Copies of this chain bind each other. A is one copy, B any other.
Amino acid sequence: MVSLVNKDKSVSAPLTSFTLEPLCVPHLRSYMPEKDAQCPNARETGEKDYVNYIADEDYILADIVKKPSAQDDTEAAPQFFQRPSASHVCRAFLRAGPRRSTFFDRKLCKAAVVTCGGLCPGLNDVIYHLTLALRTLYGVKEVLGIRGGWWGFYDGTPPLPLTMQSVDGIQHKGGTVLGAARGGFEPDKILSAIQSMGVNLVFIIGGDGTHRGALKLHNMAAAMKFPVSFVGIPKTIDNDVDIIDRSFGFESAVEEARKAIKCAKTEAQCAPNGVGIVKLMGRHAGFIAVFATLASSDVDLVLIPELPLDVDPNSPFNCLSHVKNVVEKKGHAVVVVAEGAGADVLLSAVQSQQGHKTTADGKQPELPPIGEWIKEKLTVYLKESGIAATVKYIDPSYMIRSVPANAADSVYCLLLAQNAVHGAMAGYSGFSPGLSNNRVVFLPIETLVAKSPIGVNPYGRTIERILGITKQPMPKLRRPSST
């Protein structure tokens, strides 16, 4: 091969060396060192060639976007986020996987599983694989399914025994066999129930709020030197948990959301000056709207909470006139709106309508639903612009989250569930398994929830890709001053 070495100046620059900064995960040995690593991991007998034990010293690098050249390009490049780091420090997360020895004696183990919050594709996959891993990889004899979220710990509902028979086939179904519910977090009652049931492995599937609960339980147990492992499994249909590559079920939800967009496209294409509007989940984060748009490539405008909504007829960034232009050019347009988009605009609209800024009791007034609002706004605008448009509104709502997991999400759920069990058996607590840089790691819940929920980076490359598809106008964003 002809040598085509990269003559770029960066190559000639001295290669940067950097230091690894491991992120610790809480471990029960911190207050019960005598029990640490007392039990050989059962599978070591006989099948050891086929178990890839992970050492407590194995880490996955976290901050992997690097700029080896000496100088930073902050001045030159006006990007605000995801800048490659020239830092000499590189965080690293603990690698997930089975440990050579376990903290818990499998013969004395009793596990509990609970699903909190709303539905998400893959919940049953996680329950299935927690049960499978606990029972067949570690021989845990008793696995209890707590029903109806946190409430099920103390409201008298008998747990569902999770056996290979009772979970048979659930991995192909939407929803959760345990039921789910919001609220009900009463840490004292829950901890007391865990104690009285004799449970020492607790798997808590839920969002960032649920994870904060799990962390509190872990801290309370630690303070009491109560040897229970609390493991969170991040679940959010909105994909708004920090650090991890993506949350389970997200891809399945995007798949369903794309179907709704396809229907909107068909409706829009077939009507005179047709406009199809799809409202998607995402009160605080527009990931579903954004990824369904990328997957579909049939969308002309995406409205998400992270981006400013501009409906001012006189603004050059006015999204209504963008839609008008698209309709005039292509004969139809497709709009995707996340349920949390434009909250500030809606608030102003409501306030100006009511003539004052707050309600009598000082609270913010209730906002109208953005989907119907933008539909009305667009219809009026197009009419006033002389376009007799046909506006069709589609809200798939729960239809995108109550479906079974797609194949990729099923595999992801398996990875999370198995590693949750590996970590719990090893004695880790107050952590969650998660995919980081395409590797499953053990993340301290404290780190995981520090910035969660997060949103789509409004200055990032994903939005750049969205703009490449929709060509929608982007109002100037004020740069974060601190960067």
Contact = CB atoms under 8 A, between A and B. Distances in A.
A420 to B, nearest CB: 14
A439 B179 CA distance: 36
Interface string A358-397: 0000000000000000000000000000000010111111
A21 B477 CA distance: 36
Q: State the main secondary structure of chain A at its contact with B.
A: mixed
A454 B263 CA distance: 27
A242 interface: no
A396 B393 contact: no
A321 interface: no
A49 B17 contact: no
A151 B273 CA distance: 13
Interface residues of A, number: 146
B2 A219 contact: yes
Contacts of A95: 65, 84
A92 B78 contact: no
A13 B57 CA distance: 9
B399 A259 contact: yes
Nearest to A466: B50
Nearest to A10: B57
- How many copies of this kind of chain does the complex include? 4
Interface stretch (A27-35, A194-202, A203-211, A342-350): A27-35
Contacts of A399: 259-260, 263, 394, 396, 399
Interface string A64-99: 111111000100011101101000001010010100
Contacts of A174: 262-263, 266
A410 B180 CA distance: 30
A257 B84 CA distance: 39
Contact of A403 (B16, B61, B263, B292): B263
Contact of A66 (B60, B128, B173, B245): B60
Nearest to A85: B58
A267 interface: yes
Interface of A: 1-11, 13, 15-22, 24-27, 29-31, 33, 47-53, 55-61, 64-69, 73, 77-79, 81-82, 84, 90, 92, 95, 97, 100, 119, 128-129, 132-133, 136-137, 148-149, 151, 171-176, 179-181, 215, 219, 222-223, 245, 251, 254-255, 257-260, 262-264, 266-267, 269-272, 276, 291-292, 294-297, 390, 392-399, 402-403, 406-408, 410-411, 414-415, 418, 429-430, 435, 437-439, 446, 459-461, 463-465, 467-469, 471, 474, 476-477
Given A47-B474, A59-B66, 12 more contacts: A8-B56, A50-B459, A68-B92, A133-B468, A172-B262, A181-B390, A263-B398, A393-B397, A408-B408, A415-B465, A418-B465, A437-B437
